[in-house]
């Protein structure tokens, strides 16, 4: 089963996360299938950068969102379509 969840890449005491598509039973920082965004909780307000089309694509393929990613997707504004 596929999951869309956070993978920590920041230095010690400076968290920075990638939003990744990964198999559910892999390690938190294991090899991912695709990086679909980033999350930086250290900025004020926290910075969320998501590729909405890729998140929707993977959700359509059956990937489940983790609880935290589900909250991030809900709070991140949908980007306006570019022409």
Domain count, the chain: 1
On average, the pLDDT of the chain sits at: 89
> Does residue 47 belong to any structural domain of this protein?
yes
CATH number, domain at 66? 3.30.1320.10
Provide the token pair at 3.
Answer: 């999951």
Whether residue 83 lies inside any domain: the answer is no
Residue 80 has pLDDT above 60, yes or no: no
Residue 24 within a domain:
yes
Query: Which position has the token pair 């996360």?
Result: 17
**Percent of the chain, pLDDT > 70?**
92
Tens-digit pLDDT profile for residues 32-46: 899 999 999 999 999
Q: Which of 10, 7, 20, 15 is nearest to 41 (CA)?
A: 15
pLDDT at 78: 67
The domain of 34 spans: 2-75
What tens digit of pLDDT does each residue of 61-77 get?
999 999 999 999 998 76
d(CA 5, CA 32): 10
pTM of the predicted model, to two decimals?
0.84
Does any domain span residue 80?
A: no
């Amino acid at each position: 089963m596929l999951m869309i969840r956070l993978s920590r890449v920041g230095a010690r005491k400076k968290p920075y996360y990638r939003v990744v598509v990964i198999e559910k039973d892999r390690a938190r920082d294991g090899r991912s299938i695709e990086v679909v965004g980033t999350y930086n909780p250290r900025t004020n307000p926290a910075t969320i950068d998501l590729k909405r089309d890729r998140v929707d694509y993977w959700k359509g393929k059956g990937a489940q969102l983790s609880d935290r990613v589900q909250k991030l997707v809900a709070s991140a504004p949908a980007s306006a379509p570019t022409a």
